[in-house]
Amino acid sequence: MSNSNMEEKFPRALWVRLIIYIAVGHLFAAFIYLLFEVGAK
């Protein structure tokens, strides 16, 4: 299996979308966590 085959299976757009989803998910989770931390005090 060569690198070109791997790149065809996983296009760059899919990786970009995956990274964006992970980043947004972490930001959303951090926002909710901070919201509860501030609300508890």
Note the pLDDT of residue 7. Answer: 59
Record the tokens describing residue 19, joined without a space: 């990274």
Binning pLDDT at 50, 70 and 90, where does residue 38 land?
A: very high
The pTM (predicted TM-score) of the whole model is 0.55
Using one digit for the tens of pLDDT, what is the confidence trace for 2-14? 566 665 677 889 9
Name the domain count of the chain.
Answer: 1
CA gap 7, 18 in Å, rounded: 15
Note the pLDDT of residue 25. Answer: 98
Note the pLDDT of residue 8. Answer: 67
CA gap 18, 21 in Å, rounded: 5
Q: Which domain holds residue 33?
A: 3-40
